[in-house]
Amino acid sequence: MFEAALSGLVQVIAWPAIGYLLFGVLVGLLLGMIPGLSGLVGFSIMLPFTFVLEPVPALALLLGMFAVTTTSDTIASVLFGIPGTSASQATILDGHPMAMKGEASRAFGAAFTVSAVGGILGAVVLGLSIPLVKPLILYFAQPEIFMLSVFGMTIVGTLSGNSILLGLIAALAGLGLSYVGYAENGALPRYVFGTLYLLDGLPLIPVVLGLFAIPELIELAVQGGSISKVPREEVKGGLMTGVRDACRNWWLVLRSTAIGAYFGLMPGLGGTIVDWMAYGHAVQSSKSKGTFGKGDVRGVIAPETANNAMKGGALIPTVAFGIPGSPSMAVLLGAFMIQGVAPGPEMLTVKLDFTFALMWTLAIANFVGALLLLLIAGKLSLITFLSGRLLVPLVTLFIFLGAWTSSSNIGDWIVLMVFGMVGYMMKKGGVPRPPMVLGFVIGPIMENALFITTHAYEGLSWLSRPACLIIAMLCLVSVAVGIRRNTQKAESSQIAIESPRSDPTMSLAIVGLLLAFSIHGLAPTYSWPADVGRIPMLTFIPAVFMSLTALLLGIWQFRQKLTNGEDIFPNKSELGRVFQLWLWLLGIVFVTITVGQLFALPMFIALYFLTVTRYAWWVALLSAAGTWTFLYVIFDRTIGVVWYPALLF
């Protein structure tokens, strides 16, 4: 094995492979920085350029790009609260609060350091454990996949603030959202309201951007200050403090590496939830949990380590068995075929040196990408001290572009706006948003795995499989730990409210909305075939009862606050400015329908600078011209985005 590893290293560092690798890293860093773009987009762009290359240089180019998209995606997550890719969703929870405390540079230092360590260690660990990987992958069947999904849902207890009840309601609502579109096990469309757009289900990126990015954009526009609420001269600790944080939390880094690497092995499971799993583990295993969600650097370290370590794990089933665990791996499998490389068990035997070359590519790419980002992290963190009014147009541009790249359909923007309003209400009402995203991501995996399991096994006999029993025990321990922690923290008068600072009126409104959603979701399940309606029914029945309970408790607390003379609508003063921003966002949609994005987005930039920030006309004009050039060069000519077919152009 040592000879194969050495041979693989020589192939990667030899020219021209190393040159293509470095070029791929630069492209990947750029793609990761722009919200909505990802490794899949990069594969689509770079794949045609590999047709004339030898196998090692070709795959060095592709994997070099793919490896670092989950490193540079941290930039948008920390600075703006926008997930750069689906792998950086959990990083928002503590990364953006750190930026609001003026600690963006520290967050970058920790994130980029552990990204390099996680990527390198993930590749090394998997390289050393190749002899054990084959039986592990072959043993994990659909029962284990389902139980791992359930285990992921138990992490909800650590992401639910002071109220497990509201966390469970949000998680069940997320599961309900995942049922939109054709059923996983049947040709029956569910909850599509007669629209073709929803037949494929709700797109992940617009949903996540709506829940997380739009509320932060509203806050930035309404408050008018900078992202950082702490003056620059009062901030203590910078880039090197983050690097030292990564070193001090070495044991968490190692555990998160293991989570990322080995969850990445599970086809279709690891890529979208591994950051949540690592984040939940960091919270559960910590003795001081009260700082998570408020800017705890450990909340950045865990997911950023895991989502980079995951890349090596995802590569193993692709090269060894031809089983792509994600759309990106499916495109990579196509690249293998183009290069005449046949995935199969011999990749772990006679072609082991080639497999190690792929591992070395991931390791080197992660190191180089993290090093380059560390060099510019200090400059990037200065963005958090700029005026919020100056940043609103830039953040809006990234949010709308990120949502559009999901499926290039105007429905993506409608979903973005709808979930933006829901996310704003959840944030103000104290209802946690992470459980909803986690439920939405895991829902299709759980439904498909349970359908196959119940048809392959008699009754509940599959629960007796050793791995299922072990995972079930872990689920029980996880729930017990979450309940104990929340019971110790929460006061009896705050059962249905996440924090005393939440808006009672908004809390009632969002809980009532979730109750109505659950009732509407439950109603048609009784008329559907069992295979299609069973799981939605099992989801919405408890959701209805929990939402009703939370609503009654919320009403009781609302009346208590009225009796005590407390302010029941503390955010009413900002509603006018929220409404104004919403008109701006709706204006982008309507102008796009009329003249298209290449005119609507630059027009928004120019008008916002002229009317809101009161900049000179030439500044607005230059900003609009720069925006148009960026859209045309990057998205139109390079990526080939399909723009909306406007009425006039």
Q: DSSP labels for 129-166?
A: THHHHHHHHHH--HHHHHHHHHHHHHGGGGSSTT-HHH
Q: Sorting pLDDT into bands at 50, 70 and 90, what band is 38?
A: low
CA distance linking residue 556 with residue 566, whole number of Å: 14
Whole-angstrom distance between the N-terminal and C-terminal Cα of the chain? 60
The angle at the Cα of 455, spanning 449 to 460, to the nearest 5 degrees, equals 85
pLDDT digits (tens, 9 = 90+) for 183-212: 877 678 899 888 888 888 898 888 988 888
pLDDT digits (tens, 9 = 90+) for 572-585: 777 888 888 899 99
Q: Do residues 389 and 612 lie in contact, with contact meaning Cβ atoms separated by under 8 Å?
A: yes
Q: What is the pLDDT of residue 157?
A: 61
| DSSP letters for 460-520 | TGGGGSHHHHHHHHHHHHHHHHHHHHHHHH--GGGSS-S-TTS-HHHHHHHHHHHHHHHHH
Ranked by mean pLDDT, which of 38-42, 219-223, 234-238, 608-612 comes out on top?
608-612
HEC string of 239-297?
Answer: HHHHHHHHHHCHHHHHHHHHHHHHHHCCCCCHHHHHHHHHHHHHHHCCCCCCCCCCCCC
Helix (H) or strand (E) segment spanning residue 397 = helix 388-404
Is pLDDT larger for residue 501 or for residue 164?
A: 164
CA distance linking residue 250 with residue 597, whole number of Å: 46
Q: Sorting pLDDT into bands at 50, 70 and 90, what band is 176?
A: very high
- Give me the mean pLDDT over the 432-442 stretch: 85
Q: Sorting pLDDT into bands at 50, 70 and 90, what band is 496?
A: very low
Give me 205's structure tokens: 């990126």
- Give me the mean pLDDT over the 474-482 stretch: 75
Q: What is the pLDDT of residue 413?
A: 93
pLDDT digits (tens, 9 = 90+) for 348-404: 667 777 878 888 888 888 888 888 988 888 888 888 887 777 888 888 998 898 888
- What single-letter amino acid sits at 537? M
CA distance linking residue 397 with residue 385, whole number of Å: 19
Give me 3's structure tokens: 């000879």
Q: Do residues 59 and 349 lie in contact, with contact meaning Cβ atoms separated by under 8 Å?
A: no
Q: Sorting pLDDT into bands at 50, 70 and 90, what band is 271?
A: low
What helix, strand, coil percent values describe the chain, rounded to 5? 75, 0, 20
- What single-letter amino acid sits at 486? N
Q: What is the pLDDT of residue 448?
A: 82
Is pLDDT larger for residue 480 or for residue 453?
A: 453
Q: Sorting pLDDT into bands at 50, 70 and 90, what band is 40?
A: low
Q: What is the pLDDT of residue 591?
A: 93
CA distance linking residue 252 with residue 250, whole number of Å: 5
Q: Sorting pLDDT into bands at 50, 70 and 90, what band is 638?
A: confident
CA distance linking residue 244 with residue 617, whole number of Å: 46
Q: Sorting pLDDT into bands at 50, 70 and 90, what band is 308?
A: confident
Helix (H) or strand (E) segment spanning residue 189 = strand 189-190
Q: Do residues 336 and 330 lie in contact, with contact meaning Cβ atoms separated by under 8 Å?
A: no
Share of the chain above pLDDT 70, in %: 87
- The packing angle between helices 214-223 and 575-595, to 10°, is 120
Other Cβ atoms closer than 10 A to 436: 30
- What single-letter amino acid sits at 92? I
Ranked by mean pLDDT, which of 163-167, 202-206, 261-265 comes out on top?
202-206
Q: Do residues 263 and 471 lie in contact, with contact meaning Cβ atoms separated by under 8 Å?
A: no
Residues with Cβ < 8 Å from 143, sequence gap 6 or more? 449, 453, 457, 462, 463, 465, 467, 468
129-143, 480-494, 568-582, range with the lowest pLDDT: 480-494
Q: What is the pLDDT of residue 8?
A: 78
Q: Sorting pLDDT into bands at 50, 70 and 90, what band is 625?
A: very high
Give me 445's structure tokens: 């995996």
Burial, 420: exposed, middle or buried (Cβ in 10 Å; 0-12, 13-18, 19+)?
A: buried
CA distance linking residue 51 with residue 384, whole number of Å: 42
HSE, CB side, 13 Å, CA atoms: give it for residue 313.
28
- Range 92-128 burial, b when 16+ CB lie within 10 A, else e: bbbbbbbbbbbbbbbbbbbbbbbbbbbbbbbbbbbbe
38-47, 56-65, 392-401, 426-435, range with the lowest pLDDT: 38-47
Task: Classify residue 572 by its DSSP letter.
Answer: G
pLDDT digits (tens, 9 = 90+) for 517-554: 999 999 998 888 887 888 899 899 999 999 999 999 98
HEC string of 516-547?
Answer: HHHHHHHHHHHHCCHHHHHHHHHHHHHHHHHH
pLDDT digits (tens, 9 = 90+) for 122-137: 777 766 666 666 666 6
- What single-letter amino acid sits at 389? R
- The packing angle between helices 617-630 and 597-611, to 10°, is 150
CA distance linking residue 79 with residue 213, whole number of Å: 11
pLDDT at 492 over 60: no
- Give me the mean pLDDT over the 542-568 stretch: 86
Residues with Cβ < 8 Å from 148, sequence gap 6 or more? 263, 266, 269, 471
Give me 32's structure tokens: 């990761």
Q: What is the pLDDT of residue 500?
A: 42
pTM of the model: 0.82
Nearest residue to 166 via CA among 528, 426, 351? 426
Average confidence score pLDDT of the chain: 82
Give me 233's structure tokens: 């001269």
Q: Sorting pLDDT into bands at 50, 70 and 90, what band is 68?
A: confident
HSE, CB side, 13 Å, CA atoms: give it for residue 584.
26
Q: Do residues 260 and 310 lie in contact, with contact meaning Cβ atoms separated by under 8 Å?
A: yes
Task: Classify residue 562 by its DSSP letter.
Answer: H
